Each structure stands twice: as C-alpha cells, then as structure tokens.
Amino acid sequence: MRQFRLLLAPLAVACVLGAMAPAAAQTAAPSDATRVPNSRADLAISFAPVVRRTAPAVVNVYAMKAVPRGNPVFDDPFFRRFFGGRGGPGLGAPERMQRSLGSGVIVDASGFVVTNHHVVAGADQIRIALSDRREFDADVVLSDQRTDLAVLRLKGDKQRFPTVELGNSDELAVGDLVLAIGDPFGVGQTVTQGIVSALARTQIGVSDYQFFIQTDAAINPGNSGGALVDMAGRLVGINTAIYSRSGGSHGIGFAIPANMVRVVIESAKSGGSTVRRPWLGARLQRVTPEIAESLGLPRPTGVLVKTVAGASPAAKAGVRVGDLIVSVDGLGVDDPESLNYRLATRPIGSTARITLNRNGKESEVMVALAPAPETVPREEVVLRGRSPFTGIKAVNVSPAVAEELHLETDEGGVVVSEVVENSPADASGFRPGDMILEVNGAKVASTKELDLATRASARAWRVTVMRGGRVITAMLGG
C-alpha cells in the first residue's frame, strides 16, 4: 500500500491511497541552452549562485493552534452520552498549544508569502522566520483547501522583503535540474538538489486540483510550502507531499506547479477571500483501454464527455456528449484532473481553445471561461436537536456548489457541506457531499425542508442519500 505524506513537521499527515497510476507527462521541448555535462569543468559547476539568489525568500512558518486537553473520564462511552462527546461542552477543559512547522516563499516585496493550506489550517497565531533570523507575525489573506495553498501577509512596518520570481511551470521538462529549499524536520534552512522526475502526476490525492511535479530532490516533513526552483532561480513549484512508508524522503516528492500558485496569489492580491475558477459545465470520464478500442483509438488518450449542462460554457461552445477532449490551448490532456488543472490556471473572463475529437475528426471550439453560477441561494443550515442529523451543515445545490463538492448532479436538492467532528451526524456516518433526498418518506428539496423534517421526534429515522452517484437508504436510531 502506498502512502503519501503532507510535509508538515513535527507530525506528517498521511494519506493512504491506491496504486499511483502513471499519467502522461506534459513535456516541453528542451531549449537550445540545455546540454549534458561533458567535462570535469562542467561537473564542478556549483548551484551556489542560484541558492544565494533564492534562499533569502524562503521562510519558516510556525503555526500555533489552541486545542482542548483530553480528559480520560470522557473515554468512557457512558459519560460521553451525557456530555455530548469528548471533553464535554461548557466544562472549561484546559487548552494546550499545538505547534506545527512548515516552510513558505516570499513572492512579493510587500510581504506576501505563499505556503500550503495544511500548514496554517485552523491556526490561531502564525509566526514567520526569515533566513536572516528576523521574525514577523503574519495574517492569512487567503487559504484555499482545494489547491492546498495559502497566502499570508507579513506584519512589517512597510518593509521591503526579498522575493523569488515565479516561473512558468509549463516550460519544465523531465530531466531538468531543480533545487528544493525549506526547513526539513526543523533543523534549519536546507537546500537539496535533484531533477524533475515526472510531470502531470494526477493520482496523488492531496488536493482537488491534482497535477503535480514529481522530483527526486530530497524533501521531508517541514518542507511543506517550501520552494522548488529551477536553475534560473525561478519558483517552479511549492513542495507539498512525499511518497514514504517511514515519513522520510524516498526520492519521490511532489510540488504544486507555479502556474497554479500564480492563480491563488493573484486572487489574494485582488482582495478575494476565495479563488474563482472557470466552470466548464461538463462531466468527464477517463479513457480506458476498453473505451479507446470502442472508439477506434490507437491508444487511450483525451477525456470523454459524459454529460453537458444546459446553458453552460461547454454547451454554448458546442461541446457534445461523446466528444473526446484532447487538448486545451495546444496542451494535451489525458484525464479529467489534467483538464481541470488546465482550465483552473486560465483567468476568468478569457477563453480557452479546446480541441475535440468527434467521430474520428478533430475540430476546435472556443470556450468562454466563467465561474459556476449560484442559481439558487445556498441558505446554509446547521442541524441541531436530538437526532442522528445533529452536526450536519447543509446547503442548497447549485452549479457552484456541485463544482466545489464534486457532485454528480447540479439540478437542485440539498447536500451536506460539512459534518461537525464527534457529532451524532458524524457517528451516523454522514459525509460532506452526501445529497439528502428523503427523511422518513418526506422528499427534501431545500435546506428549509431538511431542517423542518429533522426537528420532528422519532424513535427511528429512515434516510435516503445519494453518495458518489449511488442512492443509499439507511435506518438510523433516534
């Protein structure tokens, strides 16, 4: 079983996944300046000039969060029944400070720092330490769980800070030399060297937009949010995860490409609290060898269109069910993740040139890039009371909500957006993304109807949900 670890120190967060499927690398043609070392003088070349230029912009990120101390009394299920879960509400349980360490990169001289979302998620206090040993408090400007990126702002007296230039990650090629800079295991700023091992890795599972640069530069816990730079001293990626059974480097590390990082930085600088992303309005499917054979393709390639939403950008551009999308702006796509990445790195308000294969003939369409619409108000409700639904946060479904939660439908209804940890809903098995269709025989079409249906008293609850396209009916105790 393969394990992918987010690079947070002192404790790495593990994600256990299935086999990592190889994705076709989006390789760029090597430039004329690229060459193989062919003399002792070439091998004696030092990376020190690149390090001197970039290392001052790489920082340590200390995140602190107050968490309640555990009480062994509440490990007993008998007591938990009376106090509503571990710790018990309102009991004044003492708190302790949970500290984590990551890395970050200054990308603007006014003090904007990019790091990973998981480094600062839930933090009450953030402290930034520069390579010259100066320290500053920082605020979170924008934290985007879907890309696992966050942008911080240093609290300085209008100081100017060292920065690193953002590169174009689409220009990377497998075999290019790269340096990883960060603070592994909290030992202090460290530089390691390697190559780009692969591009377009899409089966890593640590963010919604999976399209990672793979490198063999040694990166370890504490490197999360650190810099992956090329030989021109440009930031080409943010180090995020490693494949590891032990928690240490096995030479397989993953970085978020700089072109995705740029989108999040620009959203933060524009004052946005969230990242607005283009919406295609189509459901997509990976092309398997069997599908390729049925379509008469020589090999699996492209992305198959399963459905097209009415009045969506895809529909307006003329995309049809059964079309095979083979490239975006001339860059090939081989799975839904790579297509989503290509669209997500394009600005809202622009257009994307999509190449289609329809019945064996290729054609191009121009798709207007617009965000998914909020066709109905979200009207979030938090379910309370004495029922198995207590602890659910639910919203009405719109194309925007469906896109955020990866729903199979955007045609209305109610979806669970969040489940409070250790709540009755958590114990009942509800998950974010569950669409609640019926409660005790009553159809649920809005959050108001769900709130009303779950306020009644009942000894048992019959609930029907849709999860991952499957309809499930279950009986829950009262």
CA dihedral (175, 178, 184, 188) positive or negative:
positive
Among 199, 227, 204, 225, CA closest to 214: 199
SS3 call for 289 = helix
Q: Annotation-wise, does 148 bind a ligand?
A: yes
Concatenating the DSSP letter of every residue in 66-132 gives EEEPP-GGGGSHHHHHHHTSTT-TTS---EEEEEEEEEEEEEETTTEEEE-HHHHTT-SEEEEE-TT
Q: Annotation-wise, does 406 bind a ligand?
A: no
How far apart, in whole angstroms, are the C-alpha atoms of residue 213 and residue 200? 6
Rounded to 5 degrees, φ, ψ at 294 are: -65, -25
Among 334, 330, 331, CA closest to 302: 334
Active site residues: 118, 148, 224
Among 161, 183, 149, CA closest to 56: 161
Q: Is 78 exposed, middle or buried (0-12, 13-18, 19+ CB in 10 A)?
A: exposed
Name beta bridge partners: 115.
Answer: 150
Q: How far is CA 396 from the centre of its chain?
A: 23
Count H helices, E strands: the chain?
Answer: 11, 27
Among 326, 318, 232, CA closest to 280: 318
Q: How far is CA 308 from the centre of its chain?
A: 24
* Beta carbons within 10 angstroms of residue 16's beta carbon: 10
Joined tokens for residue 58: 């790489």
Q: In 177-272, which ranges are E strands?
A: 177-182, 190-201, 212-215, 227-229, 235-243, 253-257
Q: Are the beta carbons of 180 and 219 closer than 8 angstroms?
A: yes
Q: Annotation-wise, does 144 bind a ligand?
A: no
Residues of each annotated binding site: 118, 148, 222-224
